[in-house]
Structure 1
Amino acid sequence: MSSTPRPDDRVASAFRFATELVAWVATPWALAPHSVVLAVLSVVVLIGLPTLFSTPGDKRNVIVAVPGPVTIALVVLQLVAAVAAAWVAWHAVVAALVSVLAVVTVVLELPRWRWLLSSR
C-alpha cells in the first residue's frame, strides 16, 4: 500500500459508522414512498459495496481489493446518501444535524484519505 503507516482512525471510524447508520436508515426511508424496490436496493448497495470492496491494509479482511480512491469514493457515497436522504425524509433540524455529522466525518477522515491516496 504505502510506506507510511496507516493513521489511527478510531475516532474517525466512530463518526464514519454513525454516518453509515444514518445512510442505511435515511436512504430507504426517503425512497420507500416512491419505490420499495429502490429502498431495498439502496440498503444492499450502501452495505454491500463497502463490504465487498476494500483497500488492502485498510481492512483486515479484503474480499475484492481496490485502490484507495475507490475506498474514498465509497465513503463519500455513504456521506452523500446520508445527507441527501436526511433532507428528503426528515425534519430540517435533524437533516442539519446529519449535515454537521457528515462535515465532521470528512474532517476526521482526511488523514486516512491522504494515506489511501499515497499508495504506490
Structure 2
Amino acid sequence: MSPVSRPDDRVASVLRFSTELVAWVAAPWALSSHSWWLAVLAVFVLIGLPTVFSTPGDKAQVIVAVPGSVTVLLVLVQLAAALVSAWLAWPVWAGCLVTVLAAAALVAEVPRWRWLTAGTAAR
C-alpha cells in the first residue's frame, strides 16, 4: 500500500495565511480596549504556537513535533480568532468579509485536515 501524498493546498495556504493575518491584527485590536497584556498575549499565542508546534511532513522546519490533529486545532483557533475579533473590533462590512474569508479557508482546508488526521503526515 502506497502512502497517501500530501494534497495540493496552494489555494488553502493563501486563504489560511490571509485569515491568520486578520487574526494577528484583529485579535489584539479587539483586546486592546480591555487589556494591553491580553493584546500582547494574543499575538504571542496566534503567531508563536503555530511557529513552535507543527506536524512533520506538513512543514519543512519542525521545532516541536505534534500530531496532525494539533495542527488542525491550531488552524481552527486562528480562524475563530479572526472571525470573532473582526466582528468585535471592526465595522459590520469588515466582519462580513472576514466571515466569507474564514468560510472559504475552512472549506479549502478540509483535504489537508483529512491528510493530517489520517496519520500520514509524519510518514
TM range (shorter): over 0.9
Alpha-carbon separation, structure 1, partners of 2:25 and 2:106: 20
Q: How high is the TM-score relative to the length of structure 2?
A: 0.95
Matched, 1:44 2:44: yes
Residue 3 of structure 1: CA displacement? 1.9
**1:9 alignment partner in structure 2:** 9
Which shifted more, 43-52 or 2-11? 2-11
Matched, 1:117 2:117: yes
Q: How does 1:24-39 map to 2 (within 5 A)?
A: 24-39=24-39
Query: Which secondary structure does the structure 2 equivalent of 1:8 belong to?
Result: coil
Unaligned residue ranges in structure 2 (runs of 5+): none
Q: Deviations over 1:13-47 (max 9, x none)?
A: 00000000000000000000100010011000000
Supply the AA of the counterpart residue of 2:24. Answer: W
**2:108 alignment partner in structure 1:** 108
Query: Which secondary structure does the structure 2 equivalent of 1:4 belong to?
Result: coil
Q: How does 1:46-85 map to 2 (within 5 A)?
A: 46-85=46-85
Alpha-carbon separation, structure 2, partners of 1:35 and 1:20: 21
Residue 48 of structure 1: CA displacement? 0.1
RMSD between aligned alpha carbons? 1.1
Unaligned residue ranges in structure 1 (runs of 5+): none
Alpha-carbon separation, structure 2, partners of 1:49 and 1:22: 16
Alpha-carbon separation, structure 2, partners of 1:3 and 1:97: 38
Identical aligned residues as a percent: 64
